[in-house]
Amino acid sequence: MCRRIGVLKGEVVAVDGSKFKAVNNRDRNFTKGKIASRLAHLEAEVGRYIEEADRIDRQETGAARTERAAHLTGRYNRICKEIERLLEMEEKLADAPDGQISLTDPDARAMATRAQHSGHVGYNVQSVVDAETHLIVAHEVTNQGHDRDLLTKMAKQAKAALQREDMHILADKGYFSALEILACHNASITATVPRSDTSGARSKGHYVKADFAYDHSADIYRCPAGQALTHRTTTEQQGLQMRRYWTNACKTCALKKHCTTGYERRVSRWEHEHLVEASNARRRSPAAPMSVRRSTVEHPFGTIKSWTGPCHFLTRRLGGVGTEMALNVLAYNIKRLVALVGIKGLMAAIPG
């Protein structure tokens, strides 16, 4: 209907994921790490109780001693039971495919949130939002903690919903994957996704790849010392064809200490690197699409979370929370459309 009345064009959309809390307390979600730290804590407590029991034996007498010993035994037994329960859970975890067990909502997963040292047990809700109208054009509830392989899947859903031949999608660096950008390109979707520098070379005072300028016509990289790095070999890395470039001038180069600790500096170039370079160029363009991304996707998540309050879902399991989120999205889109065209405009658009 939004398409039909000309409200929704969807030339540019933005995708993002947001963590929604499940009906599952953090204490009722188990991972190997959580069990190990809880066991270490309980075992230290057992040690303290044994020391205390020893002291009572030596220093106390009469009714006080009996009473304190009984109290201590009760607490000791409770801790032993908890250790037993955690050890049983540890055994069950070995069979859990993703190394997690949630007791209240078995589909919910512990996942990190953007706030430091914080996390939810919940779901990762993906949504694709039209940059012009802020209408949600596609959404999906997942229980995977990262967004890395969701770009093409969400982009294709949005493109189908918008019935477009082509589309431009904006995403944050959590979605960066060379293969996903290529898959989008093959589906006539332009993806603008920043890539994070994970090498740490810059902080060590070394040149990073961005310091090497690629010359398309000559197929060479020009290094900070002005040398030409030529294509020498092609290797496969994690399914990507990587062309490797280097020069023999490194061994006598005055800048070598800022460049490499190896024999020579090698630069890798993915066979479809031009797609990543085009994405970077769009990101740095004066139109600043990344600020459009932020202001676009944060609006619906903020609105829906303000409706749900601190408990984001009422239902459990993926099927239930998926339906609940679909109703929230429908309500959000209706309210958004009312804001865009008014009640009269909405009523006029609904076929009689």
- Assess contact for 12 and 289: CB atoms under 8 A: yes
CA atoms lying within 13 Å on the CB side of residue 12: 18
CB of 179 to ligand SF4, least distance (A): 28
Give just the sign of the alpha carbon dihedral 65, 66, 72, 73. Answer: positive
Residue 226 C-beta: closest distance to ligand SF4, Å: 8
- Residue (12 or 229) nearer to ligand SF4, CB: 229
Min dist. Cβ of residue 176 to ligand SF4 (A): 25
- Shortest distance (Å) from residue 222 CB to ligand SF4: 9
Specify whether the CB–CB gap between 126 and 118 falls below 8 A: no
Q: With 0-12 CB in 10 A as exposed, 13-18 as middle and 19+ as buried, what is 141?
A: buried
In the complex, the smallest distance separating the C-beta of residue 197 from ligand SF4, rounded to whole angstroms, is 18
Question: Least separation, in Å, of the C-beta of 264 and ligand SF4?
Answer: 6
Q: What residues have CB less than 8 Å from 81, skipping those under 6 apart?
A: none
- Closest CB 175 distance from ligand SF4, rounded Å: 31
CA 342 – CA 327 distance, rounded (Å) = 21
Nearest approach in angstroms of CB 280 to ligand SF4 is 21
Given the complex with ligand SF4, which of 62 and 205 has the nearer CB atom? Answer: 205
9 vs 209, beta carbon nearer ligand SF4:
209
Give the tokens for residue 240.
């990507």
Q: Cα 110 to the chain's mean position, in Å?
A: 12
Sign of CA dihedral 309, 315, 321, 326: negative
Name the residue nearer to ligand SF4 (CB basis): 230 or 234: 230
Nearest residue (CB) to ligand SF4, 36 versus 228: 228
Q: Structure tokens of 89? A: 């859970």
Instruction: Report strand pairing: 12-21 vs 109-112.
Output: unpaired
Question: Which residues here bind ligand SF4, judged by CB under 6 A?
Answer: 223-225, 227, 247, 249-250, 253, 255-256, 259-260, 264-265
Return the half-sphere exposure (C-beta side, CA atoms, 13 A cut-off) of residue 151. Answer: 28
Please identify, using beta-carbon distances, which residue of 114 and 204 lies nearer to ligand SF4: 204
In whole angstroms, how close is the CB of 230 to ligand SF4 at the nearest point?
12
In the complex with ligand SF4, the residue whose CB is nearer, 264 or 298, is: 264
Rg (CA), the chain: 28
- CA distances to 150, 230, 249, 276, 329 from 270, in Å: 21, 14, 23, 9, 39
CB-nearer residue toward ligand SF4: 143 or 247:
247
- Of 45 and 264, the one with the shorter C-beta distance to ligand SF4 is 264
End-to-end CA distance of the chain: 13
Is there a contact between 149 and 180 (Cβ–Cβ < 8 Å)?
yes
